[in-house]
Chain A
Amino acid sequence: MHSVIVLALVFPALGALVAAWLGPRLSHRQITWIGVGAVALSFLVAVAAFVRLASLPPAHRLIQDTLFIWNRAGATPIHFSLLVDPISILFMLVITGVGALIHLYSAGYMDDDEGFGRFFWQMNLFIVAMLLLVMAGNFFFLLVGWAGVGLASYFLIGFWYTRPTAVAAAKKAFVVNVVGDVALTLAIFLLFVNLGHVSYQTVFRQFAILPIATRDLVAALLFVAAAAKSAQFPLHIWLPDAMEGPTPVSALIHAATMVTAGVYLVARAFPIFGLAPGVATTIAWIGGFTALFAATIAIAQDDIKRVLAYSTVSQLGYMFMAVGTAAYAAGVFHFLTHAFFKALLFLAAGSVIHALSGEQDMWKMGGLRRAIPLTAATFLVGTLAISGIPPFAGFFSKDEILGGLLSGGQVGLWAIGTVAAGLTAFYMFRLYFVVFGGSARTKSHAHESPAVMTVPLVVLAVLSTVGGFLVLPGGYNLIESWLLPALSRFGPIPPLPPPTNWGAMAVALVVALAGVGSAWALYGRKAPAVEPLHGPVYRFLKGKWYIDELGDWLIVRPVLWLGSVLERFDRKALDSGFNQIGHLVAGWGESLRPTQSGYVRRYALSFAVGVMLVVAFLSLRP
């Protein structure tokens, strides 16, 4: 098994190289084979690694592979090492498995796009970076993957680079992500300076010896990094805009995988957060606030993809609530089911958009249930799953989180989560009823998508239906028994989650059904032609709490003002100063030129003078 796991990286890397190099000369069909095949092969490697891990005794489930020494810094060599353990293998399976499905779907979705080859090599590049992120054996290569997914995301959001909005969104995403990158880099610097190591095992083992202030600072920086990548308040602003990218990108990067990197980071570095309880609590509360806050915004959005984007932000909030309260198994479980149903929802939305030739405003849709029945059915499955209706996957994972919160005494968080769950059911069914229910609001010739797109929909729908049974309330908990022995290797075992809380489950179910019911009452039964809601609260929500505007006033404008002041200072004082230095140095260059006269006799003379200086220097030294 050793050294085979690197193949998981190699295949998509080769795919990206080949598609980038030969892309213009290959047919769409060939590119599809390369792009999808590379990810599928990578998936097979992940499956093999999973089988291998499962065959090991629980306490020894770890594959570590050191390929080479990347560099030496001081006395410490930094290895390029890969680490596959029960946490990372789950992420790997999702990244490559869901990734392969989405690649396949893209072959249909992007077929009439000029940048077909470019799309595929950038998607493969993303897969490489994301796999490196979760497979890295130390913080350094985690950072490489971390920055790599940011880059791939930047490429893909700005994929249609002729649209100004796409370019602006890409820039925004990149800037916000860099905030996180810087925080992560600083955290790694702190660890390296204080511990002299960057490998996970050493860092986690020695972390406790650091002073409390340093521990909290490292944990806080790691959280800022996680929040930026996983779109937690107030760094969530980039994710809704990122929907400017092609829909498969939104499904893969901005729903299923990359945005969960923050969850991965917190789960991976849990010994660090375990020793910084204050930061962990902050994570949970920010997660809770984000879950509620994004859910309220999603109610008032009209763009089908923006609704889904805010729901992603909200669901990520749930995961942070879980990992912030040390319920890592619940958080990872929700990541898993969310990857299934959110990818499904995005792909189904993409199928809708594809059917309507690019239309994204849900108030211009309607009655699509009859026109594209398969898409409608799979979308309904996704909606049921995210709303927490049993027996679909979301019910189990969301309940795992909420029940854990209530049993753990976090009543406030539990209340927030439950309210948000009701809102989720409401806005998701609002979306479903408006898009698929009633009758067509505008004339269209909707058509069902080709099989290459519907097959992934069906597969994901099946997964969204049965994925929840990994945990049976009151029964077994496969995720937990898979993860906890592995976690105990790195640090103190987090507290065992309490047994199933039936009360919380009942409340959640009632609230969800209430959300569905009110959505039916408002949008389903009457099938209104325009938004029936209005009033200042609605406008406030539609305006997304005016966070963008607030950010504009609080950050962007002051920075721009400061920028203009500094620019003036720079131009007037610094720039001319540096220019003076530049001219001075260049002037020396000019003034020294005559020494290079071209006459050998002069050269010999200066040589001789040099010899005299050397001899004088050595012999006249006092």
Chain B
Amino acid sequence: MNLPLIVPPQVAFSLISPDLALLVTSVVILAVALFLAPEQGIRWLAWLAAAGILVAAGSDVILLLGSQLPATTFSGSLVMDPLAEVLDLVILAAALLAVLLAANRPEASPDYLALTLWSAIGMMVLVSAHDLIVLFLAVEVLSLPLYILCAFRPDRPTSLEAAVKYFLLGAFSSGFLLYGLALLFGVSGGTNLTQVAAALATVGSASLFGHGAIGTALIAEVGIGLVVVGLGFKLAAVPFHQWVPDVYEGAPTSVVTFMSVGTKVAAFGVLARLVDTVFVGSAVDWQGLLSALAVATILAGAVLAIPQQNFKRLLGYSGILNAGYLVAVLVVGSQAATAAGVYFLVTYALMNLGAFAVISAVSGGEMEGVMIRRYRGLFYQQPWTAVAMAVFLLSLASIPPLAGFFGKLFILQALISGHQLVLALTVVAGTAITLIVYGRPLLAMFSPPDPDSPPLPKMPMAVATAIGCLAVAVVAVGLVPGAIVGLVHGVSQIGPLSGISGR
């Protein structure tokens, strides 16, 4: 028998060093945990995980500053470019905060740390994915640990409920995603995005009621539609959003902190890449589809957020709303618009991580602690916490001169220069409604406290530091928006895929 010679793929390990750092850290954590008693040394392991994340972030920064980018590796199935590396940094920040928040909580365990790191790896691979199979694998690597993490408070029925709901619906959506990817593969005969893009560019448009060749065109349309559905689920776009409030409410706050930012970043990243590489060249009406999704998502997210009494549910709907903005900016399809989306994501990550960190600290793991009424008079008990929370909420409501304002401003700029006036108006309407949404907890924090409310738990130093840093960052980015604009412009100037997509 004469087998063909197999050449092992050339892998540039320096390009995937952030992912490797997380992987090694997670394995080391499990190995070390073997020699520890179950409840012992979890603090140390948490610091170990944090150190691993910082190493990953450091190598990420080195890549960003270096001249290697953009580059591909693993035979072109992973692409490392400034877009991916900037989004990686956001993901790592979310993971770091999750680890810090969990360190003093019942959910802390070696499994928790390892699962968080694995999920982060999935997210980081997803934003670099340049191949249909890698894309799907990354989605699964991202999701499976999250399903488990949601159940990390088994003493609470809501936690288990959240996990089961997320798992069932997640599996459901994965099915559609996989189907869509399979159809795209069927159209193009290859899994690399370059091949897919080339194939889609030659397929004309078709309609069941129109003219033209139906076969491949229809397959391409359904394929793109289903891929958008699968990623829309991760992004929490309406009508694939219904898991969000329930899961956010039930899952441990540290996990929600992580997934609310990480999943969104990863899904946005891969969707932006697909738009940039595959969609723009195709005849499929992806702009119409994304516009419709964006309008529905923004309006439903904003309106449904109003009656919420539970802070985590409220932020869940706010996450849906912000996903709508991200989908909207993708419609424009230009690199400037992607840059605006990245800027928005960075600011959103700062304030959203901050808000969840405050919730986590104030609730101290109690279910009652996440109700908005519990925040009455927070200012009189923990003035700095209340001020930080006010900064995050005002920024979420896009009040100038905070970071959120500029994020929204750049999105509006991108939409208007892309002639998407309906979307721009929807974004404005959504912003107007959110003033009501974020106004309520703000009002509660600064009204006089209930005399019979229990005292608030003491905040660990690391968490207080993290909250302080995030609040300062939100203010600083707002005061000097130029700093990050420069970075993001760098992303758009080099271009997510210049020299790779052939555009």
- A618 touching B483 by the CB < 8 A rule? no
Interface stretch, picked from A25-33, A54-62, A417-425, A588-596, is A588-596
Is A610 on the interface with B (CB-CB < 8 A)? yes
Name 20 interchain pairs, CB-CB below 8 A, sorted by A. Answer: A69-B482, A71-B480, A72-B485, A78-B482, A585-B303, A589-B304, A589-B306, A596-B245, A607-B169, A607-B172, A610-B240, A613-B239, A614-B226, A617-B225, A618-B221, A618-B222, A618-B224, A619-B218, A620-B208, A621-B210
Is B421 on the interface with A (CB-CB < 8 A)? no
Distance in Å: Cβ of B275 to nearest Cβ of chain A = 15
A582: chain B residues at CB < 8 Å are 436
B242: chain A residues at CB < 8 Å are 595-596, 602-603, 606-607
B207: chain A residues at CB < 8 Å are 619-622
Is A604 on the interface with B (CB-CB < 8 A)? yes
Is B43 on the interface with A (CB-CB < 8 A)? no
Interface stretch, picked from B25-33, B126-134, B285-293, is B285-293
Q: What mask results when residues 486 to 503 of chain A are scored 1 for a CB within 8 Å of chain B, else 0?
A: 000000000000000000
Q: What mask results when residues 411 to 443 of chain B are scored 1 for a CB within 8 Å of chain A, else 0?
A: 000000000000000000000010010000000
Within 8 A of A (CB), among B319-342: none
A598: chain B residues at CB < 8 Å are 246
Distance in Å: Cβ of A41 to nearest Cβ of chain B = 24
Q: What mask results when residues 40 to 78 of chain B are scored 1 for a CB within 8 Å of chain A, else 0?
A: 000000000000000000000000000000000000000
Q: Give A78 to B238 CA distance when docked, in angstroms.
A: 39
Is B209 on the interface with A (CB-CB < 8 A)? yes
- A592 touching B208 by the CB < 8 A rule? no
Within 8 A of A (CB), among B216-231: 218, 221-222, 224-226, 228-229
Q: Which of A72, A582, A600, A622 has the most CB atoms of chain B within a 10 A radius of its CB? A: A600
Distance in Å: Cβ of A592 to nearest Cβ of chain B = 5
Is A611 on the interface with B (CB-CB < 8 A)? yes
- A614 touching B245 by the CB < 8 A rule? no
Contact A618/B284 with A69-B486, A586-B436, A604-B172 known, Cβ cut-off 8 Å: yes
Q: Give A144 to B225 CA distance when docked, in angstroms.
A: 50
Distance in Å: Cβ of B97 to nearest Cβ of chain A = 26
Known: A77-B482, A613-B239. 5 other contacts (CB 8 A): A68-B480, A72-B489, A596-B246, A604-B169, A620-B209
B218: chain A residues at CB < 8 Å are 619
A72: chain B residues at CB < 8 Å are 482, 485, 489
Residues of chain A at interface, number, CB under 8 A: 37
Is A615 on the interface with B (CB-CB < 8 A)? yes
B222: chain A residues at CB < 8 Å are 615, 618-619
Q: Give A209 to B218 CA distance when docked, in angstroms.
A: 58
Q: What mask results when residues 103 to 114 of chain B are scored 1 for a CB within 8 Å of chain A, else 0?
A: 000000000000
Within 8 A of B (CB), among A565-597: 582, 585-586, 588-590, 592-593, 595-596
Contact A586/B307 with A614-B229, A618-B225 known, Cβ cut-off 8 Å: yes
Is B192 on the interface with A (CB-CB < 8 A)? no
Q: Give A596 to B304 CA distance when docked, in angstroms.
A: 9
Distance in Å: Cβ of B319 to nearest Cβ of chain A = 14
Q: Give A620 to B486 CA distance when docked, in angstroms.
A: 43
Distance in Å: Cβ of A470 to nearest Cβ of chain B = 40
Q: What mask results when residues 438 to 481 of chain B are scored 1 for a CB within 8 Å of chain A, else 0?
A: 00000000000000000000000000000000000000000011
- A589 touching B307 by the CB < 8 A rule? yes
Is B136 on the interface with A (CB-CB < 8 A)? no
Q: Give A606 to B303 CA distance when docked, in angstroms.
A: 18
Is A70 on the interface with B (CB-CB < 8 A)? yes
Contact A607/B482 with A589-B305, A621-B207 known, Cβ cut-off 8 Å: no
Q: What mask results when residues 149 to 187 of chain A are scored 1 for a CB within 8 Å of chain B, else 0?
A: 000000000000000000000000000000000000000
Distance in Å: Cβ of A600 to nearest Cβ of chain B = 5
- B482 touching A70 by the CB < 8 A rule? yes
Is A609 on the interface with B (CB-CB < 8 A)? yes
- A610 touching B229 by the CB < 8 A rule? yes
B208: chain A residues at CB < 8 Å are 619-620
B300: chain A residues at CB < 8 Å are 592
The one of A586, A592, A611 that contacts B229, using a Cβ cutoff of 8 Å: A611
Distance in Å: Cβ of B372 to nearest Cβ of chain A = 15
Q: Give A393 to B138 CA distance when docked, in angstroms.
A: 79
Q: What mask results when residues 388 to 417 of chain B are scored 1 for a CB within 8 Å of chain A, else 0?
A: 000000000000000000100000000000
A80: chain B residues at CB < 8 Å are 480
Is B263 on the interface with A (CB-CB < 8 A)? no
A620: chain B residues at CB < 8 Å are 207-209
Contact A618/B306 with A585-B436, A609-B239 known, Cβ cut-off 8 Å: no
- A619 touching B168 by the CB < 8 A rule? no
- A604 touching B168 by the CB < 8 A rule? yes
A590: chain B residues at CB < 8 Å are 307
Q: Give A582 to B307 CA distance when docked, in angstroms.
A: 12
Q: What mask results when residues 154 to 192 of chain B are scored 1 for a CB within 8 Å of chain A, else 0?
A: 000000000011001100110010000000000000000
The one of B168, B173, B238, B486 that contacts A600, using a Cβ cutoff of 8 Å: B168
A78: chain B residues at CB < 8 Å are 482
Distance in Å: Cβ of B460 to nearest Cβ of chain A = 23
Q: Give A602 to B242 CA distance when docked, in angstroms.
A: 9
B176: chain A residues at CB < 8 Å are 611
Q: Give A419 to B40 CA distance when docked, in angstroms.
A: 90
Q: Give A585 to B307 CA distance when docked, in angstroms.
A: 10
A593: chain B residues at CB < 8 Å are 304, 307
Q: Give A617 to B288 CA distance when docked, in angstroms.
A: 9
Distance in Å: Cβ of A469 to nearest Cβ of chain B = 45
Q: What mask results when residues 479 to 495 of chain B are scored 1 for a CB within 8 Å of chain A, else 0?
A: 01111011001000000
Distance in Å: Cβ of B365 to nearest Cβ of chain A = 23
Q: What mask results when residues 109 to 146 of chain A are scored 1 for a CB within 8 Å of chain B, else 0?
A: 00000000000000000000000000000000000000
Q: Give A600 to B226 CA distance when docked, in angstroms.
A: 20
Q: What mask results when residues 202 to 219 of chain B are scored 1 for a CB within 8 Å of chain A, else 0?
A: 000011111000000010
- B292 touching A617 by the CB < 8 A rule? yes
Q: Which residue of B lies closest to A610 (CB)?
A: B239
Distance in Å: Cβ of B439 to nearest Cβ of chain A = 11
B289: chain A residues at CB < 8 Å are 614, 617-618
Distance in Å: Cβ of A586 to nearest Cβ of chain B = 5
B285: chain A residues at CB < 8 Å are 617-618, 621
Q: Give A479 to B351 CA distance when docked, in angstroms.
A: 53
B303: chain A residues at CB < 8 Å are 585, 588-589, 592
Distance in Å: Cβ of B381 to nearest Cβ of chain A = 20
Q: Give A77 to B485 CA distance when docked, in angstroms.
A: 10
Q: Give A590 to B304 CA distance when docked, in angstroms.
A: 7
- B169 touching A68 by the CB < 8 A rule? no
- B209 touching A622 by the CB < 8 A rule? yes
B233: chain A residues at CB < 8 Å are 607
- B482 touching A71 by the CB < 8 A rule? yes
Q: Give A229 to B279 CA distance when docked, in angstroms.
A: 57
B169: chain A residues at CB < 8 Å are 600, 603-604, 607
Q: Which of B208, B218, B240, B482 has the most CB atoms of chain A within a 10 A radius of its CB? A: B482
Q: Give A458 to B486 CA distance when docked, in angstroms.
A: 52
A68: chain B residues at CB < 8 Å are 480, 482-483
Q: Which of A602, A614, A615 has the most CB atoms of chain B within a 10 A radius of its CB? A: A614
- A600 touching B164 by the CB < 8 A rule? yes
Q: Give A604 to B289 CA distance when docked, in angstroms.
A: 20
Q: Which residue of A lies closest to B308 (CB)?
A: A589
Q: What mask results when residues 239 to 250 of chain B are scored 1 for a CB within 8 Å of chain A, else 0?
A: 110110110000
- B226 touching A615 by the CB < 8 A rule? yes
Distance in Å: Cβ of B246 to nearest Cβ of chain A = 6
Distance in Å: Cβ of A267 to nearest Cβ of chain B = 29
B229: chain A residues at CB < 8 Å are 610-611, 614
Distance in Å: Cβ of A129 to nearest Cβ of chain B = 15
B210: chain A residues at CB < 8 Å are 621-622
Distance in Å: Cβ of A21 to nearest Cβ of chain B = 12
Contact A585/B306 with A607-B169, A614-B229, A621-B207 known, Cβ cut-off 8 Å: yes
Q: Which of A69, A77, A80, A619 has the most CB atoms of chain B within a 10 A radius of its CB? A: A619
Q: Which residue of A lies closest to B293 (CB)?
A: A614
